[in-house]
A and B are shown apart, each in its own frame.
Chain A
Amino acid sequence: MITAGIDCGAKNTKTVIMKDGKIIGKGEVLTGFDQNKAILACWDMALKEAGISEDQVEATCGTGSGKNAIKNVKSLVNDIKAMAKGAHYYFPNARTVADVGAEEGRAAKLDERGNPVDFAINEKCAAGAGAFIEAMGRALETPLEEMGPLALKSDKEIPMNAQCAIFAESEVVGLIHAKTSKQDISKAIHDAMASRIVSMIRRVGVNPDVVMLGGVGYNPGFVGAIKRELNLERIYIPEDPEYGMAVGAAVVAGEGT
């Protein structure tokens, strides 16, 4: 059976096509201002990669903050369930999952079938989302991709006083003036953000197998900071963490039949 999941996020839109529980096609594009265009574009990308035609897809499920823009889908699923199902797909032993996207952070506790039993979410404040590191990268004049590797080079502990991304930007400028090195500042930024996410994870409860989804999973500086904060040797991250929710949606699409 072929199913598809579409995750229309704040920053990127992702599509995953799955055949009998195996991912056969993926597509990702910037959401931009036209959600419909983005959805169609990544839909075509995923179909092409899977080498199938549209009518071979038996069931499609949509999710993400822009899910209401997704047309012609069988069902829609909320972000929490999509995230939980996605984590369960990759790591069936996982009982705690965190998903840090561009503009939202979420954490959930799962049962053995990957259904969420408790969750916490932050969608109001940039301090606990990818947008925070993006804004700090601008203040540091460092491309986003370099922020994480830069942080790994530092072992200093500089506390950030500001929580708000706007205030933190001024604080970063202050640190630059005080001749603090870029790598130390970058680490301070990641530590600050990790402590926001970890407090959310703690609220739902930490079980040893913690899965992280969302684009921020690519950032080694952030992942390192999370591990330190949680005191864990390892956290589980799939190969393409930003597809987590789309995968979850594709799983839900298959369950519904």
Chain B
Amino acid sequence: MTEEKKQEFWRWTESNWANPDMEWNKAKFITAGIDVGSVSSQAVVMADGEIFTYANMRTGSDSPNSARNALNFALKATDMPEDRIDYCVGTGYGRVNVPMADRSVTEIACHARGANFIYGPEVRTVLDVGGQDIKAIQCDEKGRVTNFLMNDKCAAGTGRGMEVFADLLGVPITEVGERSFQVKEEPQAVSSTCVVYAKSEATGLLRKGWTTEKVLAAYCRAMAERIYSLVERLGVEPAFAITGGMAKNMGVIDRLMPMIGLEPAKTKWDTQIAGAVGAALFGYALCQKGKGRKDTKREKQRMTSDK
């Protein structure tokens, strides 16, 4: 009997990165931000408000472990010991379960703050398309949230919906965008909103003789329309920044931006780390105000409870 191994089409590569030129031992404050999302977890370590190292991983079945793994993976790229970190902020869906965090901040605030850093202070609208939710955020020049809208009830338009489709069609998630453009003619969007029904609809389309690429195009368009309806309700002010994993899927973004009528802001950073960057920056701001961990009672408690 041959054992059939199921390919996991939703899987993307985990990564870490460190700035080799940065001298962390000269930094005044080292802060960490850990974003435990529903699908992916990121850890970012900043030295005096500049990105020193980061890691991007898949969230496992429990949040504390995912946070731990992400931080370890980030530090692995450096020679810095973990206890050098002055302050750690947790954010994301699993933020209350980040054991090494000194406090937690909502992911809305962190994404706005992080987008302000990785895309620049001219950003006024942030769209975060994550694994299980979509957030549209308006912010000011300092990355402070002024308004936001969120869908966390329905998988339509989220990364999870795209994963389901990648799996159904047998296309690795990282190739979805590119392949969705390999069509002669752009099809109409998949008409079902619900991912469960969209799956049946897609099966029907394949039976009708549609190519995998054409079905992907139709679903990417449906995702874009769904995301647009949320963005439109909030209102768009340039510059427009996209964070989260979906920013890497051009199949959706290149269909979404013409609807909005803007060019998306560009960055050299990994779009998935925005939340963790924001968290680390919140920690840095606290340290600068003298509210860092080293001066607090909590730190003493932490030290004793660790033993």
Given A103-B197, A165-B196, A166-B160, the answer on whether A33 and B154 have CB atoms closer than 8 Å is no
Known: A174-B61, A177-B61. A166 touches B197 (CB 8 A): no
Interface flags for B185-196 (1: CB within 8 Å of A; 0: not) read 000000011111
B41 close to chain A: CB less than 8 A? no
A132 and B193 CA atoms in complex are apart in Å by 15
Question: Could you say which residues of chain B place their CB within 8 Å of the CB of A126?
Answer: 194-197
CB-CB contacts of A118-136 with B at 8 A, as 1s and 0s? Answer: 0000001111000110010
How many B residues face the partner with a CB closer than 8 A? 18
B132 nearest in chain A by CB position: A167
Residues of B within 8 A of A103 (CB): 197, 200
Q: Is A73 an interface residue (CB 8 A)?
A: no
Give bound CA distance, A135 to B161, whole Å. 15
Chain B 237-264 interface residues, beta-carbon cutoff 8 Å to A? none
Contact with B along A157-191 (1 / 0, CB 8 A): 00000011111001000100100000000000000
Question: Which of A33, A125, A163, A165 interacts with B207 by CB under 8 Å?
Answer: A33
Closest to A132 in B: B196
Q: Hey, which chain B residues are within 8 Å of A174, CB to CB?
A: 61
How long is the Cα–Cα vector from A15 to B234 in the complex, in angstroms? Answer: 48
Say yes or no: B194 contacts A124, CB within 8 Å: yes
Binary flags per residue of B203-225, CB closer than 8 Å to A gives 1, else 0: 01001000000000000000000
Q: Which residues of A lie under 8 Å from residue B285 when comparing CB positions?
A: none
Of B38, B192, B197, B207, most A-chain CB atoms within 10 Å: B197
CA distance A163 to B192 in the complex (A): 17
Most B CB contacts (10 A, CB to CB) among A127, A164, A167 go to: A164
Asked if B61 contacts A166 (CB within 8 A), the reply is: no
The closest CB in chain A to the CB of B195 belongs to: A166
Taking CB atoms, residues of chain B closer than 8 Å to A167 are 132, 155, 160
Q: Nearest CB to that of B133 among chain A residues? A: A167
From residue 50 to 93 of chain B, which have CB atoms closer than 8 A to chain A? Answer: 61
The reply to whether B155 and A166 contact each other, CB–CB distance below 8 Å, is yes
* Shortest beta-carbon distance from B226 to chain A in Å: 12
* In the complex, B153 has a CB within 8 A of chain A: yes
| Chain B residue contacts of A164, Cβ below 8 A | 153-155, 194-195
- For B230, the chain A residues whose CB sits under 8 A away are none
Chain A residues near B196 (CB-CB < 8 A): 126, 131-132, 135, 165-166
Which residues of B in the span 162-180 have a Cβ within 8 Å of any Cβ on A?
Answer: 164
What is the 8 Å Cβ interface bit string for chain B, positions 121-162, against chain A (1 contact, 0 not)? 000000000001000000000000000000001110000110
With a cutoff of 8 Å between Cβ atoms, the chain A residues found around residue B38 in the complex are: 170
Q: CA of A135 to CA of B200 in the docked complex: distance in angstroms? A: 12
User: How far does the Cβ of A128 sit from chain B's closest Cβ, in whole Å?
Assistant: 10
Out of A33, A131, A163, A170, which one reaches B197, CB within 8 Å?
A131
A170 to B39, CA, bound (A): 11
**A125, B200: Cα distance in complex, Å:** 13
* Nearest CB in chain B to that of A124: its residue: B193
Residues of A within 8 A of B195 (CB): 126, 164-166
Q: What A residues does B192 contact at CB under 8 A?
A: 124
Contacts of B164 in A (CB 8 A): 166
Residues of B within 8 A of A127 (CB): 194
CA distance A127 to B153 in the complex (A): 11
- Residues from chain A with a CB closer than 8 A to the CB of B160 are 166-167, 170
Determine which of A33, A125, A135, A177 lies in contact with B193 in the assembled complex, contact meaning CB atoms within 8 Å. A125
Determine how close the nearest CB of chain A comes to the CB of B40; give it in whole angstroms. 14
Least distance between B73 CB and chain A CB atoms (Å): 23
Distance, CA A167 to CA B196, complexed state (A): 11
Closest chain B residue, CB of each to CB of A168: B155
* Given pairs A165-B196, A166-B164, A167-B132, 10 additional interface contacts (CB within 8 A): A33-B204, A125-B154, A163-B153, A163-B154, A164-B155, A165-B155, A165-B194, A166-B161, A167-B155, A167-B160
What is B's interface to A at a CB cutoff of 8 Å?
Answer: 38, 61, 132, 153-155, 160-161, 164, 192-197, 200, 204, 207
Lowest 6 CB-CB distances: which A-B pairs, in order? Answer: A166-B155, A126-B196, A164-B155, A126-B194, A164-B154, A165-B196
Question: Can you offer 30 A-B residue contacts whose CB atoms are under 8 A?
Answer: A33-B204, A103-B197, A103-B200, A124-B192, A124-B194, A125-B154, A125-B193, A126-B194, A126-B196, A127-B194, A131-B196, A131-B197, A135-B196, A163-B153, A164-B153, A164-B154, A164-B194, A164-B195, A165-B155, A165-B194, A165-B196, A166-B155, A166-B161, A166-B164, A166-B195, A166-B196, A167-B155, A167-B160, A170-B38, A177-B61
